Amino acid sequence: MALFRIGPNSENVNFVRGEGVYLRPPEMRDFEAWSTLRERSRAFLTPWEPTWPGDDLTRTAFRRRVRRHQQEIESNEAFPFLIFSDDDTLLGGLTLGQIKRGVVQAATLGYWIGAPYAQNGFMTRAVRAAVGFSFGALRLHRIEASCLPHNKASLKLLERVGFRREGYARAYLRINGAWEDHLLYALLETDRTTPPAPPARR
């Protein structure tokens, strides 16, 4: 993972390099690719996300989204990224949000991937890059994530990267119009040097 600062000083952008993927904040030039991928993936994403606003895929809503994300980055509140392959194909999105400093030093991880690119390892590589960015450039101590209990692909992804299950939260997030229970996961900076023990052989 590598972090670069590109662009003039007044328009600094975070660019996070992963294995075969890179992350950067959304810009207006991404609208067409973003809206096309989201619409193409609507049925795939709907069971796992909050209800989409009626104007979610419009250029006006995307402009508001970009402006809000820029403010979040400038205030160190969140780092929203789009995920691209090395050939500049948009794959999905990832956010390190709800950043807490002081005695906490933690962030919450969220992510989505377009239907055509699921189950190809792209998100695993993107999350690993985000973890390196979190514990490196952001100097966080803890990354938290939550997952619907029946989202097997997401559970496997988190555990593959090293996240450990810490709890179960009832009616935790409103997903697709309903309050849903979630499994709670976390990864500590020190977990990278003390990985979980491998499963016992049978």
CA dist 26 and 24 (Å) reads: 6
- Is 169 inside any structural domain? no
Task: Give the amino acid at 105.
Answer: Q
**Does residue 132 sit in helix, strand or coil?**
helix
Q: What averages of pLDDT result for each successive group of 10 residues across the chain (202 residues)?
A: 38 76 97 98 96 96 96 94 97 97 97 97 97 95 97 96 97 96 97 52 36
- Is 157 inside any structural domain? no
Instruction: Give start and end residues of each alpha helix (H) in 41-146.
Output: 42-45, 59-74, 122-135
**Burial profile 129-168: b = 16 or more Cβ within 10 angstroms, e = fewer:** bbbbbbbeebebbbbbbbbbeebeebbebbeebbbeeeee
Question: What is the tally of structural domains in the chain?
Answer: 1
Instruction: Report the CATH number that the domain containing residue 78 is assigned in CATH.
Output: 3.40.630.30
Adjacent-strand bridge partners of 106: 100, 142
Expressed as residue numbers, the domain containing 16 is 2-144
